[in-house]
């Protein structure tokens, strides 16, 4: 088996952590049991380009139980957990191409290795596999093998929808991110908690009493703002969308343009999916000692080249903390080179939310295996029945029962004449 990981000797620790995550992933475990019985993915090769974490390991195990042949590469150079990569290779016979901190060349070399596996299904977090399969340099025969793909995150879905709109998308994609059982929970509670976790692990600063600025009040930003506020921060939100800005105001946060917010900020975190949300004019207005981080998908939300240009000196002062000294002597601390802070300096989302996200991935792969012949080169939502079944399985696993509609209520809700 071909693979490229940091060190196979890390497997023991990886296996223990995969087991720990599995305890919080009961829905995925149930799907794994069903897959082992029914083998819906028999004969299908799946290339996954996802963050190499304990939760992803449990997804890979599930796909393999369903009969799929799988390969895994990283969807970010800093998010790989090397012990998990080692365990997947040595305990589960799943080839992995990922090393934490790999350079850009190695990162793409690893994606090429996954593509050369000749997948029938691609599983992306940020559309890297799709982009490379669609590039002019890639052998078209590899693209011919692919029946469909799935996409895990907001930024990837936006890109794939724009490819579909331009008529250049060459195979169907299921937008896992857009399932309600994904973004309502993963983006909001998972990113919210783990982004703070990442900032705290990198810096060990006290959140209480500090002024925290969050750029973007979408699914991730809402979760982050509410959790920072819960720890006692004074939270300021910046937005470009009036509706989301208004929601932040009604949720009790101050909202203002970034140029004003940075003057007060102790910590600034971008989670927008946009480019250069923090740029030269903002660095010039920041307080001495401001801490800057990003949790959006790509490391473009903070304009790092312009920060470098404004600085006379840069030094690494702690793991994941670079101190930039500006020409006037002020210091700005950039965390994790502007890459996803929750996956760089912490462990990413808690397993309990990834349980639902990855249940969507596994069931979408099964759906593709059965229905791909009827799918067009478009971006599809996860079928409603999959979304609903995951919510009900999760409630069941949590031991929570809910009421059922009575016959009378069902009739009432379906009629426009009753009870008026």
Nearest to 198 by CA among 337, 311, 59, 73: 337
Asked if 162 touches ligand NAI (CB under 6 A), the answer is no
Whole-angstrom Cα distance, residue 24 to residue 19?
9
Quickly count: other Cβ atoms within 10 Å of residue 341's Cβ.
Answer: 29
Asked if 379 touches ligand NAI (CB under 6 A), the answer is no
Please, what is the minimum distance in Å from the beta carbon of residue 236 to ligand NAI? Answer: 12
Please, what is the minimum distance in Å from the beta carbon of residue 171 to ligand NAI? Answer: 21
What residues from 116 to 135 belong to the interface with ligand NAI (CB under 6 A)? none
What residues from 301 to 340 belong to the interface with ligand NAI (CB under 6 A)? 340
Whole-angstrom Cα distance, residue 218 to residue 239?
9
Looking at beta carbons only, is 225 or 310 nearer to ligand NAI?
Answer: 225
Residue 49, helix vs strand vs coil? strand
Residue 43, helix vs strand vs coil? coil
Residue 288, helix vs strand vs coil? coil
Looking at beta carbons only, is 61 or 222 nearer to ligand NAI?
Answer: 222
Stretch that binds ligand NAI, among 133-141, 167-175, 271-279, 389-397 (CB under 6 A): 271-279
Please, what is the minimum distance in Å from the beta carbon of residue 165 to ligand NAI? Answer: 17
Whole-angstrom Cα distance, residue 349 to residue 391?
18
Which of 59, 130, 277, 390 binds ligand NAI (CB under 6 A)? It is 277
Question: Which x/- pattern, by CB under 6 A, does the window 209-248 give for ligand NAI?
Answer: ------xxxxxxx----------------xxxx--x----
Please, what is the minimum distance in Å from the beta carbon of residue 186 to ligand NAI? Answer: 6
Please, what is the minimum distance in Å from the beta carbon of residue 31 to ligand NAI? Answer: 21
* Whole-number Cα distances in Å, 339 to 3, 159, 219, 296, 381: 25, 19, 19, 8, 28
Please, what is the minimum distance in Å from the beta carbon of residue 302 to ligand NAI? Answer: 12
Q: Which residues of 278-311 are buried (b: 16+ CB within 10 A; e: fewer)?
A: bbeebbeebeeebbbbbbbbebbbbbbebbeebb
Q: Which residues bind ligand NAI (CB under 6 A)?
A: 153-155, 183, 187, 191, 215-221, 238-241, 244, 271-274, 277, 295-297, 340, 342-343
């Amino acid at each position: 088996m071909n693979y490229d990981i940091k060190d196979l000797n890390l497997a023991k620790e990886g296996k223990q952590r995969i087991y720990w995550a599995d305890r919080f992933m009961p829905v995925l475990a149930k799907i794994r049991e069903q897959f082992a019985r029914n083998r819906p993915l028999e004969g299908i090769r799946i290339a996954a380009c996802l963050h190499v974490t304990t939760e992803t390991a449990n997804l890979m195990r599930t796909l393999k139980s369903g009969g799929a042949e799988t390969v895994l590469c990283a969807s970010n150079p800093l998010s790989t957990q090397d012990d998990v990569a080692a365990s997947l290779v040595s305990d589960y016979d799943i080839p992995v191409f990922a090393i934490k901190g790999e350079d850009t060349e190695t990162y793409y070399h690893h994606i090429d290795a996954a593509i050369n596996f000749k997948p029938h299904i691609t599983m992306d977090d940020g559309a890297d596999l799709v982009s490379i399969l669609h590039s002019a340099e890639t052998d078209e025969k590899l693209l011919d093998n692919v029946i469909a793909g799935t996409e895990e995150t907001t930024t990837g879905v936006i890109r794939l929808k724009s490819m579909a709109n331009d008529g250049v998308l060459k195979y169907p994609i299921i937008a896992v991110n857009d399932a309600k059982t994904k973004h309502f929970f993963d983006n909001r509670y998972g990113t919210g908690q783990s982004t703070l976790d990442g900032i705290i692990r990198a810096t060990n600063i006290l959140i209480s009493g500090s002024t925290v600025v969050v750029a973007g009040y979408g699914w991730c930003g809402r979760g982050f703002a509410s959790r920072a506020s819960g720890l006692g921060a004074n939270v300021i939100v910046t937005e470009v969308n009036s509706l989301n800005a208004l929601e932040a105001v009604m949720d009790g946060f101050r909202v203002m343009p970034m140029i004003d917010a940075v003057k007060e900020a102790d910590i600034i975190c971008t989670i927008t999916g946009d480019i250069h949300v923090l740029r030269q004019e903002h660095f010039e207005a920041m307080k001495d000692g401001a801490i800057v981080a990003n949790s959006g998908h790509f490391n473009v939300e903070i304009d790092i080249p312009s920060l470098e240009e404004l600085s006379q000196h840069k030094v690494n002062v702690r793991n994941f903390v670079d101190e930039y000294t500006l020409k006037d002597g002020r210091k700005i601390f950039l965390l994790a080179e502007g890459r996803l802070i929750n996956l760089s300096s912490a462990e990413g989302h808690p397993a309990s939310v990834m349980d639902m996200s990855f249940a969507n991935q596994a069931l979408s792969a099964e759906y593709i295996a059965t229905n791909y012949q009827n799918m067009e080169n478009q971006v599809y939502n996860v079928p409603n029945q999959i979304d609903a079944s995951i919510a009900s399985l999760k409630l069941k696993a949590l031991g929570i029962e809910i009421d059922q509609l009575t016959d009378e209520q069902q009739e009432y809700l379906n009629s426009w004449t009753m009870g008026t």
